[in-house]
Chains A and B, each alone.
Chain A
Amino acid sequence: MKKSAPLLLLAALACLALAPPALAAGPDLQGLSPDKPLVVDSQAGSLRYLAKVNGKYLHQPTRHASIYQGGKFGDKSVFSALAKPEDFRQALSSLGLKAGDNMTMDNKETTTVRGDELAVSVTWPGAARAYTLDEVIVDSNGKPIQTRFGGNQGSALQHNTGCLICLDSCPVGIASNATYTYGAVEKRGEVKFTGNAKVLPPDGTLVVITVGLKK
């Protein structure tokens, strides 16, 4: 028995390691599920989509708030979205929101994104309330995130990055942050963004992101 104890311990650890993670939609996910990751609430003038917290970006910098998990950059954002960018864009348009469509590859470093300003909030089962994007993502300069509906349908499809919400003005992301021009994060190092580990739940938690017109 003594000789087999380490083997038993290893076997137990292996079983623990291979156990599949739970990904069931709970009752607090506001009607969303992995099979139905995005809904439009016309009465409230907003849409809701399902995303998963990526724990890595609670401690490491990123330039993306939310990217579709099946996109090319699917694992590079604080919130890995289960909804596709084309559906996200379509849903914003169906709410009557106007896209800026002013960002190009040529002007990206000198122009900030236009389009209707969006109110973005995040909540999850067990959260005390819904938190604004400014509360769940930390800007190292302390500036507010100004999310605007950039549009970019053509380039989003062309590049297939999966970007829903970028943290500086972007010619690819459906929505992005008008506070900074493109390159502020990656090229010029003007700012660092990380998820707020003091507020957000642990890695893998499903969250509901609500997006509507900022009033």
Chain B
Amino acid sequence: MPTVPPPEQPRPALQRLAGLLAGLCLGLLAGCLLALLAGRWVWLGMRVNTGLLVPLGALLGGLAGLKKPLGAARPWLLAAQAALVAAAAWLLGFDRQALLVVPACLFREGCHLPGLSLTTTNALLASWLLAGNALWLVLGRRLDQPHGLLRNIP
């Protein structure tokens, strides 16, 4: 009797990791957009640390990603991030200088790191988004393969 190879087991840990990474990236950008919107209301901006919305957004995004693991690469997640970046650019008048300064300042304020230079903050944000997206995309592709990790998941 021919032996049937045992089916590959799903890897919930990998799915959760992919979800977490995607959520962290999407949440960071969503938090940044909300902080930019809040900052347009000067009364609020002068009384509240609107930058807190940036790490808070990332945290909530990450938690949501953990709660709803990512079964495969989802192109809409990249499209959503692109839309958030475009909206932020529009709010900042498509001013390249403002785009390099304001989100980094908001993140710095939100994380209570006033000594961090903008170059350092921008490097951190760029690494976060590039590495985070690259990792969940790679994981997502592996999870997508027909004979790959998820073939037995309904």
A186 B120 Cβ-Cβ under 8 A: no
Nearest chain-B residue to A21 (Cβ)?
B117
Known: A59-B92, A73-B46. A17 touches B123 (CB 8 A): yes
Complex CA gap A6/B124 in Å reads 15
Q: Which A194-209 residues have C-beta < 8 A from chain B?
A: 197, 202-204
Kindly supply a per-residue 1/0 record for chain B positions 110-121, scoring 1 wherever the CB is within 8 Å of any chain A CB and 0 otherwise: 000011111111
Complex CA gap A21/B123 in Å reads 13
A56 B102 Cβ-Cβ under 8 A: yes
Q: Which A7-46 residues have C-beta < 8 A from chain B?
A: 10, 13-14, 16-21, 23
B105 A192 Cβ-Cβ under 8 A: no
B43 A10 Cβ-Cβ under 8 A: no
Interface-central residue, A59, A69, A192, by most chain B CB under 10 Å: A59
Of A60-68, A131-139, A143-151, which binds chain B? A60-68
> Interface of chain A, helix or strand or loop or mixed?
loop
B142: min CB distance to chain A, Å: 16
A55 B118 Cβ-Cβ under 8 A: yes
In the complex, whether A187 has a CB less than 8 A from a CB of chain B is yes
Known: A59-B98, A63-B46, A192-B42. A14 touches B115 (CB 8 A): no
B46 A10 Cβ-Cβ under 8 A: no
Nearest chain-B residue to A80 (Cβ)?
B114
A169: min CB distance to chain B, Å: 15
In the complex, whether B101 has a CB less than 8 A from a CB of chain A is yes
A186 B42 Cβ-Cβ under 8 A: yes
Complex CA gap A93/B44 in Å reads 33
B97 A16 Cβ-Cβ under 8 A: no
In the complex, whether B39 has a CB less than 8 A from a CB of chain A is yes
Number of residues from A at the complex interface, CB < 8 A: 35
Kindly supply a per-residue 1/0 record for chain B positions 42-68, scoring 1 wherever the CB is within 8 Å of any chain A CB and 0 otherwise: 110110010000000000000000000
A64 B120 Cβ-Cβ under 8 A: no
Kindly supply a per-residue 1/0 record for chain B positions 123-143, scoring 1 wherever the CB is within 8 Å of any chain A CB and 0 otherwise: 110110001001000000000
B118 A203 Cβ-Cβ under 8 A: yes
Known: A16-B123, A56-B105, A185-B42. A69 touches B98 (CB 8 A): no
B102 A17 Cβ-Cβ under 8 A: no
Known: A59-B102, A62-B42, A197-B97. A13 touches B115 (CB 8 A): no
Kindly supply a per-residue 1/0 record for chain A positions 71-98, scoring 1 wherever the CB is within 8 Å of any chain B CB and 0 otherwise: 0011110000000000000000000000
Complex CA gap A21/B115 in Å reads 7
B43 CB contacts on chain A under 8 angstroms: 186-187
**A interface vs B, CB < 8 Å?**
6, 10, 13-14, 16-21, 23, 54-56, 58-64, 69, 73-76, 185-187, 189, 192, 197, 202-204
Q: What are the nearest 4 A-B pairs in CB distance?
A: A56-B105, A21-B117, A59-B98, A186-B43
Give 6 A-B pairs besides A58-B98, A60-B102, A189-B42 with Cβ atoms closer than 8 angstroms.
Answer: A56-B101, A60-B39, A62-B42, A62-B46, A186-B42, A203-B105
Give 19 A-B contacts (CB < 8 Å), ordered by A residue: A10-B127, A13-B123, A14-B127, A16-B123, A17-B120, A19-B120, A21-B120, A55-B105, A56-B102, A58-B101, A60-B39, A60-B40, A61-B40, A61-B45, A63-B46, A64-B46, A73-B46, A189-B42, A192-B42
